[in-house]
Structure 1
Amino acid sequence: MSEIVYPPVIRAAKIMFKVLGLKLKVEGHENIPATGGAVLCSNHISYLDFIFAGLGANPAGRLVRFMAKKEVFDNKIAGPLMRGMHHIPVDRENGASSYIAALKALKEGEVVGVFAEATISQSFTVKEIKNGAVRMAVAGKVPLIPVALWGTQILWTKGRKRKLWQRGTHITILVGEPMYPKRGDDYDQVTKELRTRMQQLVDKAESAYPTDGTGQWWQPAHRGGTAPTPEQAAALDAAEQAERAAKRAAREAAEGSSGS
């Protein structure tokens, strides 16, 4: 596979992070196999997570092909970059094609990155996740690797202004030990274990984070921050989904009336 775009993008990102004074801490990259396929499953707290989760695999010499919503690929600027880096578009109305593309990449020895929570966690804890990542690892006969990111939400997250130029922000990337799910396993139970491991990694990153988050918006409520509780965050997600559905229904109704 031709890699004209991805390596220069990584180099540019590292230079930018150095200019911004970001302090990156990567642990556990040795858990990513040097060769062969793997499913990398990360928590999701920022719009920039795919960049930092990818950097977690960089010391192991691997490039991660992330599954991302189709709308990102439709963007005039981001789209060509995403395609050039061979990321995988996810069409929510045709999920089967995305799954097939990801499985093909795994069988070709690629590392595929997924955000199993689907959307950004506004509580900054790991939301409930579906078993798609587990099924993908089983079908591809590859390891499943949990990853935790912390600090990325300070730069840019849902409902907050971007602070990309905030110097000195600490970013933690923890790569956990691989899991090896297989056919015949209870996929839902394995998914619960995956979520537990991800949350344990997040807890570890939070505990060692050098900046005190007490009273801060970016700190989870159970750790003394002012972020929404998981229950409040779930309500915010539900309201957002309802609003999106209403807009889609109105748009389809308008298109239907104009075509009649």
Structure 2
Amino acid sequence: MTDSLLAVTDLHAGYGRAEVLHGLKLKAAAGSVVTVIGPNGAGKSTLLNALMGVLPSRGGIAYRGQSIAMQSLEERVMQGIALVPETRALFGSMPVEDNLRLGAYRQVRLGKKDSGASLERVYALFPRLKERRTQLAGTLSGGERQMLAVGRALMGEPSLLMLDEPSLGLAPLVVRDIFNTIAALRSTGVTILLVEQNARAALDVADYGYVLEMGEIALEGPASDLARDPRVIDTYLGAARKQAGA
């Protein structure tokens, strides 16, 4: 993978004395969708939280060719890195549009006072949010909350968007919509690092993939190759993919 926006080397991270990631190495090419799949407890969310600066870590984290390993969470946000956490972390008592405008924090700090253009781009991507713009975030459906969480992150116009389990708890049709949106985002130039238990959907949308098991990279390669790998099929894609002739 050339022209890496993100390059991670020998990354160690965890919780207190419990190390979860053991010398992990990973890259994300600019403008690509990179997915990390693996079982529960493999360290997928730990990886994103370490890259965002939510968790302390040691090792190399280079973004745009410069080390950000010592930068704070706020500094990483200002560099153009955004994380949509598994919990979505919305302000339920605030309307949809106010939640979105809070996401423009980075742009305001950079001197861009008017977030209207970013708001319209998000509404174009998620028309349902425009319909619900005056509705309290806490009253949205699960799929709408996920759209709002992604939309809020996009309001900061990030270069690297990290998504933690975006399909979690959603109905199959809603999952399809979310992944169609991820595919559409690729054309905007944003780089996406996608952590996902739905390996089939993740590999279908990604350019490159990593299989994370017990805190270490077990397999990596172009997503289309991983989707045909017998071990990945047996462990993560199940009988349905095999029946489809994958």
**TM-score band (shorter)?**
0.3 to 0.5
User: What TM-score comes out, normalization by structure 2 length?
Assistant: 0.39
Q: Which structure dedicates a bigger proportion of its chain to strand?
A: 2
User: What TM-score comes out, normalization by structure 1 length?
Assistant: 0.37
